[in-house]
Structure 1
């Protein structure tokens, strides 16, 4: 009726090709893997609904197709997603940092930002962390906002709630947990392509997996440069910095949190920033890095009182066809991070 192929005849590879064809040309910036999944999932569901409308008879005769991507962590825009859908996630070993212990590594330890990150690390290392069982779920409650680029211009959306329940099962899982975004609750299924379930790792950072990371900052940073996923056309240093940021709102061992902050201090280009604030306007200490390749700056915000992580923001640092320099791309404010027994259950509540 509208010239689209019949979805009943699609294979998984056909779906990816059709979705990539329908998407607009990619924007000239990328965000970490975790941040593009929210809008990708919404896009998939929008396409599902459109197909269901135009093929009512076929849809009624067969079960509904599962969503192709889960939602995970903070959202990203549809145009930025287009570049990731078509290009995929790739590792770039050509931008690996010098090995720990070199003169460059020693110089990084002398950067002014190292003193602040050292204080943040020391505070994180002294915090109590809960005992986490494999049958439990980590819980994150945030306020988030992001720019929508689907119209070709950046339109910053309103602040809204975002909750995530993530399975702590160390084995690959087909049901990762739940997402509740702006009042809508959605199941968090396995990553697309994970036919045997999604394992613990960067896209499903369980407490046990985080505890397995090296706690020596140099070794940890080498591991992140070697293993962290990266979208194409982004500096490797920036990809690792943003990957650390994606882990900061998760429940983790104190020693792992401490090591992550000291590892971040060794990344070239990391600086302190004045007048930092999170998505709800809480002001604090800023740690930031700019990606000159894509023209974005990502900033972490920490409390001036006890150095706890408050949230993040990402902004443009150069003019683009869709927005001017300084435009907000996404931001968050972490309100709660805890462990619960069931997905959908709130900390301190017995409700299921």
Structure 2
């Protein structure tokens, strides 16, 4: 019997605690923390800061030098629903004011999400139906020089993807960038008019390709890609290319075969995560946490694997609870983070009662990190949703 089955059977025999009891337990955890304990949160490395940006990637984070933008990609292929207005996180605090509680609280929430995912039933697709995956995100864009030096804003993007019942059939993606700008200070919006960066949001970019291979390696050239009569970028790939795509999935771009081969036992799964993330990130545990977020963000992870991933994350020593009532785009969940030093922290937000991932966000940990950004400000977020639709291009 594996760990998840044991937890499920044990859980079924126990009565569900009421919300008031759960909150009292969380408060007991906070109270029990010693005042001198090392609970200072630390930011997780922005693992995407060295990636190349391209259209179709989730979002952009950039710094402007001398008036020119240097943009860095966020390593996710899809994005979900856009939050409105600036977000300031109000985390839980210990008695000495530190905004992170212990590992035990995070593990409890993660294991509860694992149990919920095991009880969930993934919607089944029939021929002709598609998973409609919608993500939206916002990423920081900043100026380090020129007339707008010191100005920062969040640039929002939305992407939609239609995944067919048969992965070898044609997929479709539709992405729109720089839809809105959220400024941190009133004066920044006025100053931005001095810069040559007043672009209007472009038309959505539509791509079609089998197996979701929207960017075939070595096949596409910017402004010279194959298009159909409606202007969509369309790639027709050979069976061998499709087979290679499906056989070489990964944590950032999972495929059915890749996910089927991952262990469902949480301990063995975490060992696999440590193996695949070795040599990357600020630390072994932090990078393991990042990989869990990478694959869950895809929106296509089956329920049994989601459960195993939640339970595996609960075993990572550095994972802690950042907020038990995190709000992201009007959806409420639990935020957990891996704290390993830095100016920001990355949080994975999920609904522990349903086992569904809501999204991610990156939060500033200290005042003065950038001009106009105070501690607790969100500088990047992504939300995820998935539904079944009856045709490519259809929306719920």
TM-score bucket of the superposed structures, by smaller chain:
0.5 to 0.7
Residues 283, 303 of structure 1: 8 Å contact kept: yes
Residues 275, 283 of structure 1: 8 Å contact kept: no
Q: 1:222 aligns with which of 258, 262, 271?
A: 271
Aligned to 2:7: none
Q: 2:214 aligns with which of 174, 189, 198?
A: 189
Q: 1:123 aligns with which of 107, 111, 116?
A: 116
CA distance in 2, matches of 1:137, 1:288: 32
Matched length: 261
TM-score, length of structure 2 as denominator length: 0.54
Aligned to 1:255: 304
CA distance in 2, matches of 1:154, 1:212: 46
Say yes or no: does 1:31 pair with 2:46.
yes
Residues 289, 316 of structure 2: 8 Å contact kept: yes
5 Å matches for 1:126-141?
Answer: 126-131=119-124, 138-141=131-134
CA distance in 1, matches of 2:219, 2:253: 12
CA distance in 1, matches of 2:124, 2:154: 37
Residues 136, 158 of structure 2: 8 Å contact kept: yes
Residues 62, 72 of structure 2: 8 Å contact kept: no
Aligned to 2:6: none
Say yes or no: does 1:145 pair with 2:129.
no
Q: CA deviation at 1:211?
A: 2.8
Say yes or no: does 1:268 pair with 2:317.
yes
Residues 238, 289 of structure 1: 8 Å contact kept: yes
TM-score, length of structure 1 as denominator length: 0.59
Aligned to 1:18: none
Relative CO higher for 1 or 2, CA cutoff 8 Å, sep ≥ 6?
Answer: 2
| Residue aligned with 1:77, SS | strand
Say yes or no: does 1:298 pair with 2:346.
yes
CA distance in 1, matches of 2:383, 2:340: 22
Aligned to 2:326: 277
Q: CA deviation at 1:299?
A: 1.5
Say yes or no: does 1:329 pair with 2:379.
yes
CA distance in 1, matches of 2:47, 2:394: 28
CA distance in 1, matches of 2:338, 2:137: 20
Residues 63, 144 of structure 2: 8 Å contact kept: no
Say yes or no: does 1:180 pair with 2:175.
yes
Query: Max radius of gyration: which structure?
Result: 2
Residues 44, 286 of structure 2: 8 Å contact kept: no
Cα gap change, 1:36/1:346 in structure 2, threshold over 3 Å: closer, same or farther?
farther
Aligned to 2:59: 75
